[in-house]
Amino acid sequence: MNCRMVRVVWCVVTSAVFGLFPFEISAADDLPRRPNIIFILTDDQGYGDISAHGNPVLTTPNLDRLHDEGVRFTDFHVSPTCSPTRSALMTGRHEFRNGVTHTINERERLTLGAVTIAQVLKAAGYSTGIFGKWHLGDEPEYQPNRRGFDEVFIHGAGGIGQSYPGSCGDAPGNRYDDPLILHNGVFEKTKGYCTDVFFSQALRWIDQTRGSQPFYAHIATNTPHAPLDVRPEDRARYVGKVKDDNVAKFFGMIANIDDNVGRLLAKLDEWKIERETLVIFMNDNGGTAGTRVFNAGMRGQKGTPWMGGTRASSFWRWPGTLKPADVKSLTAHIDFFPTLAEFAGVSLSGEIQKQVEGRSLVPLLNNPQAEWPSRILITHVGRWPKGEQQEYKFANCSVRTSRWHLVCDTQKPTRTSFAQAELFDVPADPGEQTNVANQHVEVVAQLSEAYDQWWNSIQPQLVNEEVPIPAENAFKRLHQLQFGGR
């Protein structure tokens, strides 16, 4: 359906909390049509783990192509760890407002009161599919088939084979090679390396879906996250090029991702839908193993509130519509939801509009110099001991504006103030080496006040902090039902 023809059509989304409410489908005047959308999200690949960003060892020609042929957000930020980032992408608001403050212990579960971008796109006429990692709740009511996805092809927990006390866990004994995958509620034994398997299934689904309706394909790899189970031929690409064998494995896993991105782009060209398809690439948090070689001059990595813990790649490629360019404005994961909604012709209203904290990136995608009002972004690593959030209010957190970054990286409980925090002038000092807090006391005070207001506002939404731990994870129970005691 041409988006010009659905300007006054009303759609309905169901939410456990909000009930039934409408939003309007309308055409953005500066967009020629509603695109197919493919979103690629990698796990633990840092901003520096791509050759287009200056990595001296790693070669990523297909990711470089997305970079070179798309709009690049050079000051784009996510959360310091994976579940929090995924929840913010899905909902357009800070992860803590979704109850997601950890990656395990029931604190990875996306509150059932949130509406996801998949629900919005599905209601707007998109076919929706997820392939790979979900990590926002493994219990049946939290799984993606209940959160707006038509096609579900996922592993459990935060990674293949992972299992933790409570509900967060994958199928027992699962491996990166020939993984057992939950496909629309039934486990399937697959053949091949996990990343290859996810891309192959996504391509099959896209081939079946294309032409009938616009589609949203969410491809979330569990690589290059540890354990570094890499194909031997991919590891071999970097043996001898780096001193640490773990880095060779890590880079090999990224090389495999890059190969699959190339395979996907080739299929879009073969199917003649390149100019109808928006391809987005991001990573979910700061770097890990690769930072030993290159970290793009940043301080910190995954699990820290420094720039190196939150700065992410963000490439948006839509041939014939988006012109390649760099965007320097301060942007973030919370902007993903409203951007996709606008591309889909959805005008957010009512409770969904109240949910979304982010801004649509469409003005910047159309004009990298577009006006972008100042904003404050807040980071907190979370992961505090159960029930002790107030004790860790000022631990591992930061407040960011386009110019300033106030960072408190102590891991010790501290609920008093930002007394230990450091302030950095980011444009002048992107490596965050010179603390200027004493020279700008008024800035520290302003950012501290903003943080206090934010902290107080999110307390009612920390819904997972006191949730009891189930005796067994849902994927294990489902595995036992399907396969018996095996």
Domain locations along the chain: 3-366, 377-461
pLDDT of residue 412: 75
Distance CA 133, CA 152 (A): 10
Sign, CA torsion 319/322/324/326: negative
Is the peptide bond prior to 61 cis by the omega test (within 30 degrees of 0)?
no
Evaluate the CA torsion angle 466, 470, 474, 476 in order and state its sign.
positive
pLDDT at 10: 42
pLDDT at 219: 99
Check residue 420 and give its pLDDT.
82
- pLDDT of res. 13: 52
Residue 460 CA: distances (Å) to CA of 98, 247, 421, 444: 10, 42, 26, 26
Q: Is residue 261 within a helix (H) or strand (E), and if so which, with residue range?
A: helix 245-270
Strands (E), 85-185: 127-132, 151-154, 180-183
pLDDT in tens, 208-220: 999 999 999 999 9
**Which stretches in the chain have pLDDT values below 50?**
1-10, 15-20, 27-31
Beta strand 180-183 with 186-189: parallel, antiparallel or unpaired? antiparallel
Going by C-alpha positions, the residue among 272, 151, 265, 264 that lies closest to residue 215 is 151
pTM for this one? 0.95
* Half-sphere CA count of 191, side-chain side, radius 13 A: 0
Q: Which CATH superfamily is domain 3-366 in?
A: Alkaline Phosphatase, subunit A (3.40.720.10)
Q: Can you give the pLDDT at residue 33?
A: 77
Are 377 and 406 within 8 A, CB to CB? no
pLDDT the model gives residue 3: 37
Predicted local distance difference test score (pLDDT) of residue 131: 99
User: 135: which 2 tokens?
Assistant: 């990590």
In whole angstroms, how far apart are CA 154 and each of 157, 224, 443?
A: 10, 16, 45
Please provide the DSSP assignment of 421-459 as one string. Answer: -EEEETTT-TT-----GGG-HHHHHHHHHHHHHHHHHHG
Across the chain, which distance is largest between two alpha carbons, in Å?
A: 66
Residues 6+ positions from 225 with CB-CB distance below 8 Å: 43, 44, 82, 158, 159, 288
Question: Any idea which residue has 């192959």 for tokens?
Answer: 200
466: helix, coil or strand?
A: coil
CATH placement of domain 377-461: 3.30.1120.10
